[in-house]
């Protein structure tokens, strides 16, 4: 694609063999290479894998450190250990990591190939040919058919629908399943066949590739004219063509330039807080290692100068050593090699193995498997499991994540009576589990079988001819912008621009007021089986300022009536005063519906005089034709006619939440996790869902709404919110001071310790100002003081910025969860990204670290898997550092007794096998299987999650305690045998003290002590734990006796010189008494400390375990909780996801097929049988059971 003068790209259509030519325009001497449509998310290929992977691995400080040690061990003058003690574990680590990376990249290659090899129809030399997606180029014209994915970002040229319209589903991009409309520009909409398209030679100058999903700017130059292009003319990669037989499009952006891939962003390498702490600790340990090396080197230089010089005759210095100082220098490097086991490379191998095990537990968890979608949970990374146990902030998308984006007509209020509450035989409100069979609509041949309603009294009112109920449903069947399609007799398909409208029109359809068809000037409705055609005089379209829409229709009798539906806050003020009593009752119903989290609309009507309408219509026509202030003049006329209306009632729609969302949010909140909702939806919809899922409650002290349009307005609103919180907190504290909450973050505010519960709702335009550098801290301070935060109308970039802001200042672990391409940047920015799988969209899953099909599984992922992973990793690290300091520091003490000669206490085989064989498996078993409390208790007691958030189980303090215990153990491990051996004798009277016997005794004591210690640390015993612990002890003795056997000596006389030493040493009672004494002295203080801590200051997990033991034989008592009635102040439940512009589209007739303009095809269809059936069934409905095919009502048929 050639670059234009302002960085714009140029795309030229046919002629050409492939129908298009890219980069034909090169202005200002600038040129940009056009990418192919091939996408690549993999990192390696066969040639680059080895060098690139090794380069990446040696960027790890630990791997470079061990490579450095290996090089030192190859120098004979300073090496006191064989090179294989380091190279074997180093190669093992590099190999395991390389295999894991290769496996991950293989699946990325597989996914890329699957997408790149999809087929598409490309116009080549005037003929449509099948081409793989990877071969599609910028400038190609491609044909899409119904239900096909869009291969690249296309300019819509023409379609099978009238006026170049087409319908798309954007679930892959934004997680929304409702259809959206796109339209070709008029000049290309007639290019419906390949011969005309082959002659299309227009040129598109457009903006450079970017990640803005809702914006596009460009110009089409064709036939010496230019035509502006917008997002309404574009089909983006990842969309699916729906309800449109075919369409043609010109490829504008391909491959990595498409908006879908631009939103994917660059994958960031994520590290856990424990990893970062480990890097710090490794540096500290290395510093400690250097200090020990310096001390021992100085000791060697002094000893050689004072004592060693006297023994030069039979203890000469090595070749090349000419002074005590140089001997000390060489000794320093020798001790660095010997003491390096304080951080063995096996630590990193073990960490990777444990994380892999935790990942498999997530993948295998049947309780996180969705049978309906056949989708298991998946850990897409193995490096972040323990971070799941430390999450403090969750950032969630709304549509498709918290909700199913399915609207269900739930309740309504008509003429001061509420319908929708199910009642039992005594007339009382039935409980949730006591629902009878749904209302039977089987007598209605045009009913949607998926629609369900449980209150039969509403249908009774229809049958009894209640005029108010009839008018209520007549309004719902007329006041909308839904399109109807009837492919076969009686089988209606509604194309609704929003799921809200689809739900309302479907409800009217089932209750007997069936919207059948429309033309630009008429609407045909079947009212209780009778076809009636209304003349459509005007549509007063919906927008976010009006918050209402109206239609003006003329009935067959000639009566002109305005029907209006909209927000209660808007419509209730526009009613005629005569409605006051009805308004009061309806308002109570609205309060009740809003308290249940339902989305409400108020319905009203107004009769218009013919003369007034004619005069008003003339003014409307003039305003529509005005060139200046057109929108303002239209709004004024709309406002004039929508006054003094008569109230009909209200509707309550349930925006169906994902199963278990309110319970999950409640439990996560109890675990001290703050949940922020970041959504592209408008404020009313997001707030409504906030109440539905119990993030917002009427018991909250206050919900702050930030809607400022300027920096000053936003700053002032935030300041007022903070002042209110502070004032309320002072009044509640009654004059007593309250402590400021301690926080590890930079931002520590007294606001975080305030009394009362608050919530913050902020719009996208306000958020843009709040995220500016000089205001971001104020915004974060205010938001963090609130229990819930909802950000509405936010862009994908703003989602990522909010997450980055919390990461920057709070230093807390963040988790982002979403299901669409607009969530990808947020998912990649957060410490942990979770994708909702099983929907149409997969972009969020591909970018995520973990995926599952329902939001409710987040509770189990964090409170069970996350908490256990953090607990296990912390216990593993504490024990690992302890056992290695206990093992290594013995060499340090021995240095003072061996002339600082870098002689090891243990033989080199024990040093090699200690971390690989003798102590590796028990600690792995604990790191993989350990539990403090069962999974049920983890869910029942969310407060158990808090230690991870506060990082209590492994931090610098715990690290120093571990190494202090290790050093204490090493002191006893060395000096107790040393003291005993000084005067001990064998059974035959010979001196017991020799180097090899001492080495065997210390080594045996060490293996037994660390085995007993891990037995004390293990909280959950399995057969594997028993096998590994006792098996490792057995393996130690088996290998020990084998290495001192005659057989190995005869095969390798230079390697295994000390034949029978182990057998002779361990045959002495004195040695076993020494080992027993060492074990008891090392372990008893630990046992005593833990006993006292458990008795005097138990942790919550200790209390839970004790409670579990006490109640083990008691039956679980279930508490039945009745739903509490709503109390509190008046709150609007209005939410309507409709968009502006459809009214004008319908009135223009652009989205009408020619065949639908002939009304006779519909009005001539009598349905007299239906009304007769209804009359016959009257009175027998209670005994007739309905059998709808699905329990989940859907608003649309697609």
pLDDT at 1182 over 50: no
- Residue 781 tokens read as 């301070």
Q: Which DSSP string do the residues of 534-596 spell out, in sequence order?
A: EEEEEEE---TTT-EEEEEEE-TT--EEEEEEE-HHHHGGGB-GGGHHHHHHHHHHHHHHHHT
Q: In what order do the strands lie in the sheet with 758-763?
A: 378-379, 850-852, 832-836, 813-818, 391-396, 674-678, 788-792, 758-763, 702-706
Task: Identify the band that residue 440 occupies on the pLDDT scale cut at 50, 70 and 90.
Answer: confident
pLDDT value of residue 78: 75
In angstroms, rounded to a whole number, what is the distance separating the alpha carbons of residues 920 and 1007? 11
Cis ω for the linkage preceding 15 (within 30 of 0): yes
In angstroms, rounded to a whole number, what is the distance separating the alpha carbons of residues 1055 and 1057? 6
Task: Identify the band that residue 944 occupies on the pLDDT scale cut at 50, 70 and 90.
Answer: very high
Answer with the residue of higher pLDDT: 1109 or 1087. 1087
Torsion, CA 770, CA 776, CA 779, CA 783, rounded to 10: 120
Distance set, CA 860 to CA 665, 928, 940 (Å) = 12, 17, 11
Helix, coil or strand: residue 205: strand
pLDDT value of residue 860: 94
pLDDT value of residue 534: 95
Give the strand pairing for 832-836 and 850-852: parallel
For 296-342, the pLDDT digits (tens) are 999 989 988 888 777 777 777 776 677 788 888 888 988 988 888 88
The mean predicted confidence, pLDDT, of the chain is 82
pLDDT at 859 over 80: yes
pTM: 0.78
7: left (phi over 0), alpha (psi -120 to 50) or beta: left
Answer with the residue of higher pLDDT: 17 or 3. 17
Task: Identify the band that residue 1079 occupies on the pLDDT scale cut at 50, 70 and 90.
Answer: very high
- The rounded radius of gyration (Å) of the Cα atoms in the chain is 38
Task: Identify the band that residue 178 occupies on the pLDDT scale cut at 50, 70 and 90.
Answer: low
pLDDT value of residue 531: 92
In angstroms, rounded to a whole number, what is the distance separating the alpha carbons of residues 779 and 396? 19
Helix, coil or strand: residue 982: helix
Instruction: Kindly provide the residue ranges of all beta strands, DSSP E only, lying in 618-701, ordered along the sequence.
Output: 646-657, 674-678
Catalytic residue at 104? no
Task: Identify the band that residue 814 occupies on the pLDDT scale cut at 50, 70 and 90.
Answer: very high
Task: Identify the band that residue 8 occupies on the pLDDT scale cut at 50, 70 and 90.
Answer: very low
Please name every residue paired with 657 in a beta bridge, in sequence order, or none if there are none.
403
Answer with the residue of higher pLDDT: 628 or 883. 883
Q: Which range (431-440, 1109-1118, 1125-1134) has the least confidence? A: 1125-1134
Q: What sign does the dihedral 177-183-184-190 (CA atoms) show?
A: positive
Q: Name residue, tokens 């120093």.
A: 960
pLDDT value of residue 733: 53
Q: Name residue, tokens 């498996």.
A: 921
Does residue 434 contact residue 424 with C-beta atoms inside 8 Å? Answer: yes
Q: How much is the average pLDDT of 186-213?
A: 87
For 361-390, the pLDDT digits (tens) are 999 999 999 888 788 999 988 889 999 999
Between 867-895 and 995-1017, two packed helices, what is the crossing angle to 10 degrees? 160
Q: How much is the average pLDDT of 745-772?
A: 74
Q: How much is the average pLDDT of 925-944?
A: 91
Q: What percent of the chain has pLDDT over 70?
A: 84
Does residue 854 contact residue 817 with C-beta atoms inside 8 Å? Answer: no
Task: Identify the band that residue 1170 occupies on the pLDDT scale cut at 50, 70 and 90.
Answer: very low
Task: Identify the band that residue 968 occupies on the pLDDT scale cut at 50, 70 and 90.
Answer: very high
Give the strand pairing for 832-836 and 813-818: parallel
For 872-929, the pLDDT digits (tens) are 999 999 999 999 999 999 999 999 988 888 888 988 888 888 888 899 899 999 999 9
pLDDT value of residue 744: 37
Q: How much is the average pLDDT of 1001-1017?
A: 95
Give the strand pairing for 153-159 and 530-540: unpaired
Q: What percent of the chain has pLDDT over 90?
A: 37
For 59-84, what is the HEC assignment? CCHHHHHHHHHHHHHCCCCCCCCCCH
In angstroms, rounded to a whole number, what is the distance separating the alpha carbons of residues 160 and 183? 11
- Residue 199 tokens read as 């002659």
Q: Which DSSP string do the residues of 211-237 spell out, in sequence order?
A: --TT---EEEEETTEEEEE-GGGEE-T
pLDDT value of residue 1153: 57
Answer with the residue of higher pLDDT: 1 or 804. 804
Task: Identify the band that residue 291 occupies on the pLDDT scale cut at 50, 70 and 90.
Answer: very high
Q: How much is the average pLDDT of 967-991?
A: 85
Q: Name residue, tokens 């843009």.
A: 768
Task: Identify the band that residue 748 occupies on the pLDDT scale cut at 50, 70 and 90.
Answer: very low
Task: Identify the band that residue 80 occupies on the pLDDT scale cut at 50, 70 and 90.
Answer: low
- Residue 44 tokens read as 């390696």
Q: In what order do the strands lie in the sheet with 141-145?
A: 127-132, 119-124, 141-145, 246-253, 153-159, 234-235
Q: How much is the average pLDDT of 49-72?
A: 82
Residue 608: how many CB atoms within 10 A of its CB? Answer: 18
Task: Identify the band that residue 479 occupies on the pLDDT scale cut at 50, 70 and 90.
Answer: very high
What distance, in Å, lies between the first and last C-alpha atoms of the chain?
37
Distance set, CA 284 to CA 58, 266, 843, 956, 1017 (Å) = 20, 33, 42, 11, 25
Per DSSP, 434 falls in state G
Catalytic residue chosen out of the listed positions 153, 397, 440, 930: 397
Torsion, CA 1141, CA 1144, CA 1145, CA 1148, rounded to 10: -170
Residue 1085: how many CB atoms within 10 A of its CB? Answer: 11
Helix, coil or strand: residue 209: coil
Per DSSP, 408 falls in state E
Helices (H) and strands (E) in the chain, counts: 40, 35
For 500-524, the pLDDT digits (tens) are 888 999 999 999 999 998 888 899 9
pLDDT value of residue 1160: 36
Does residue 557 contact residue 569 with C-beta atoms inside 8 Å? Answer: no
Q: Which DSSP string do the residues of 332-391 spell out, in sequence order?
A: HHHHHHHHGGGS-THHHHHHHHHHHHHHHHHHH-GGG-BTTTTB--EE--SS-GGGGGSE
Task: Identify the band that residue 1154 occupies on the pLDDT scale cut at 50, 70 and 90.
Answer: very low
């Amino acid at each position: 694609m050639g670059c234009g003068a302002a960085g714009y790209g140029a795309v030229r259509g046919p002629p050409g063999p492939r129908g298009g030519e890219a980069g034909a325009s090169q202005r200002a001497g600038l040129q940009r290479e056009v990418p192919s449509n091939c996408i690549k998310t993999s990192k390696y290929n066969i040639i680059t894998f080895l060098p690139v992977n090794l380069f990446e691995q040696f960027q790890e400080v630990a791997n470079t450190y061990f490579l450095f040690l290996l090089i030192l061990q190859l120098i004979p003058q300073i090496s006191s250990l064989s090179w294989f003690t380091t190279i074997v574990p180093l190669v093992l680590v590099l190999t395991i990591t390389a295999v894991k990376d290769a496996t991950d990249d293989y699946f990325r290659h597989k996914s890329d190939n699957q997408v790149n090899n999809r087929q598409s129809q490309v116009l080549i030399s005037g003929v449509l040919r099948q081409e793989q997606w990877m071969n599609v180029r910028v400038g190609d014209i491609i044909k899409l058919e119904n239900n096909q994915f869009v291969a690249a970002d296309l300019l819509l040229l023409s379609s099978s629908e009238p006026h170049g319209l087409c319908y798309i589903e954007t679930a892959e991009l934004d997680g929304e399943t409702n259809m959206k409309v796109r339209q070709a520009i008029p000049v290309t909409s007639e290019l419906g066949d390949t011969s005309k398209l082959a002659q299309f030679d227009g040129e598109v100058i457009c903006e450079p590739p970017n990640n803005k999903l809702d914006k596009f700017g460009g110009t089409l130059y064709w036939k010496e004219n230019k035509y502006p292009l917008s997002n309404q003319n574009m089909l983006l990669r990842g969309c699916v063509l729906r309800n449109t037989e075919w369409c043609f499009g010109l490829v504008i952006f391909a491959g990595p330039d498409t908006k879908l891939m631009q939103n994917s962003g660059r994958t960031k390498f994520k590290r856990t807080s424990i990893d970062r702490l480990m890097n710090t600790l490794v540096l500290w340990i290395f510093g400690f290692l250097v200090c020990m090396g310096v001390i021992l080197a100085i000791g060697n230089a002094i000893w050689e100068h004072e004592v060693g010089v006297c023994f030069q005759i039979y203890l000469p210095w090595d070749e090349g050593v000419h002074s005590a100082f140089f001997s000390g220098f060489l000794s320093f490097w020798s001790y660095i090699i010997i003491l390096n086991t304080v951080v063995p490379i096996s630590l990193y191998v073990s960490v990777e193995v444990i994380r892999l095990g935790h990942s498999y537990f997530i993948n295998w968890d049947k309780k996180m498997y969705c049978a309906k979608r056949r989708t298991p949970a998946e850990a897409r990374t193995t490096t972040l499991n323990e971070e799941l146990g430390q999450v403090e902030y969750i950032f969630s998308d709304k549509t498709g994540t918290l909700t199913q984006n399915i609207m269900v007509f739930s309740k309504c209020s008509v003429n001061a009576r509420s319908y929708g509450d199910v009642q039992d035989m005594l007339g009382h409100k039935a409980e949730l589990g006591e629902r009878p069979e749904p209302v039977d609509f089987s007598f209605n041949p045009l009913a949607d079988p998926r629609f369900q309603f449980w209150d039969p009294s509403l249908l009774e009112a229809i049958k009894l001819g209640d005029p108010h109920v009839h008018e209520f449903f007549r309004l719902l069947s007329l006041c909308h912008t839904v399109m109807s399609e009837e492919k076969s007799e009686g089988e209606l398909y509604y194309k609704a621009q929003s799921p809200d409208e689809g739900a309302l029109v479907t409800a009217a359809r089932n209750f007997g007021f069936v919207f059948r068809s429309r033309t630009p000037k008429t609407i045909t409705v079947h009212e209780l089986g009778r076809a009636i055609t209304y003349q459509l005089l005007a549509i007063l379209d919906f927008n976010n300022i009006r918050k209402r829409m109206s239609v003006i229709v003329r009935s067959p009798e000639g009566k002109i009536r305005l029907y209006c539906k909209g927000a209660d806050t808007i419509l209730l003020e526009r009613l005629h005063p005569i409605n006051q009593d009805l308004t009061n009752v309806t308002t109570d119903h609205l309060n009740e519906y809003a308290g249940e989290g339902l989305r409400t609309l108020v319905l009203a009507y107004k009769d218009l005089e013919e003369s007034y309408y004619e005069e008003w219509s003339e003014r409307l026509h003039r305003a529509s034709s005005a060139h200046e202030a057109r929108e303002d003049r239209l709004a004024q006329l709309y406002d004039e006619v929508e006054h003094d209306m008569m109230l009909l009632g209200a509707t309550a729609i349930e925006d169906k939440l994902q199963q278990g969302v309110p319970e999950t949010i409640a439990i996560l909140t109890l675990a001290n996790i703050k949940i922020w909702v970041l959504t592209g939806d408008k404020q009313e919809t997001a707030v409504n869902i906030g109440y539905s899922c119990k993030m917002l409650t009427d018991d909250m002290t206050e919900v702050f709404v930030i809607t400022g349009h300027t920096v000053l307005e936003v700053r002032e609103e935030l300041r007022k919110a903070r002042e209110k919180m502070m004032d309320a907190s002072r009044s509640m504290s009654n004059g007593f001071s309250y402590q400021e909450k301690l926080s590890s973050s930079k931002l520590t505010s007294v606001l975080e310790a305030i009394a009362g519960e608050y919530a913050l709702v902020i719009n996208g335009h306000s958020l843009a100002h709040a995220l500016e550098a000089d205001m971001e801290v104020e915004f974060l301070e205010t938001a963090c003081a609130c229990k819930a935060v909802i950000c509405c109308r936010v862009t994908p970039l703003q989602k990522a910025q909010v997450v980055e802001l919390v990461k920057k200042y709070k230093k807390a672990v963040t988790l982002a969860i979403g299901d669409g391409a607009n969530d990808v940047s947020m998912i990649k920015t957060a410490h942990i990204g979770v994708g909702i799988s099983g929907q149409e969209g997969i972009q969020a899953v591909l970018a995520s670290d973990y995926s599952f099909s329902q939001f409710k599984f987040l509770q189990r992922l964090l409170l069970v898997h996350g908490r256990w992973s953090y607990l296990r990793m912390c216990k593993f690290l504490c024990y690992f550092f302890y056992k290695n300091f206990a093992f290594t520091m013995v060499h340090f003490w021995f240095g003072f007794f061996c002339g600082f000669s870098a002689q090891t206490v243990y033989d080199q085989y024990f040093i090699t096998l200690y971390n690989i064989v003798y102590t590796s498996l028990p600690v792995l078993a604990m790191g993989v299987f350990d539990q403090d409390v069962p999974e049920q208790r983890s869910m029942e007691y969310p407060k158990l999650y808090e230690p991870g958030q506060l990082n209590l189980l492994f931090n610098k303090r715990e690290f120093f305690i571990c190494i202090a215990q290790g050093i204490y153990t090493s002191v006893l491990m060395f000096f107790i045998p040393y003291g005993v051996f000084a005067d001990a004798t064998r059974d035959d009277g010979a001196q017991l003290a020799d180097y090899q016997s001492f080495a065997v005794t210390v080594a045996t004591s060490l293996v037994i002590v660390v085995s007993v210690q891990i037995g004390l640390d293990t909280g959950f015993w399995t057969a594997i734990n028993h096998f590994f612990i006792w098996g490792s002890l057995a393996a130690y003795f088996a290998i020990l006796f084998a290495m001192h056997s005659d057989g190995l000596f005869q095969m390798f006389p230079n390697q295994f010189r000390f034949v029978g030493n182990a057998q002779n040493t361990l045959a002495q009672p004195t040695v076993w008494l020494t080992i027993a004494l060492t074990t008891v002295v090392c372990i008893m203080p630990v046992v005593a400390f833990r006993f006292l801590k458990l008795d005097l200051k138990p942790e919550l997990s200790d209390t839970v375990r004790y409670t579990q033991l006490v109640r083990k034989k008691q039956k679980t008592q279930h508490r039945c909780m009745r739903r509490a009635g709503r109390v509190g102040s008046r709150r609007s439940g209005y939410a309507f996801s409709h968009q502006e512009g459809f009214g004008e589209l319908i009135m223009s007739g652009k989205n009408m097929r020619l065949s639908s303009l002939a009304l006779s095809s519909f009005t001539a269809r009598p349905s007299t049988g239906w009304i007769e059936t209804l009359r016959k069934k009257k009175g027998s409905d209670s005994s007739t059971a309905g059998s709808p095919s699905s329990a989940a009502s859907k608003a649309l048929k697609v």
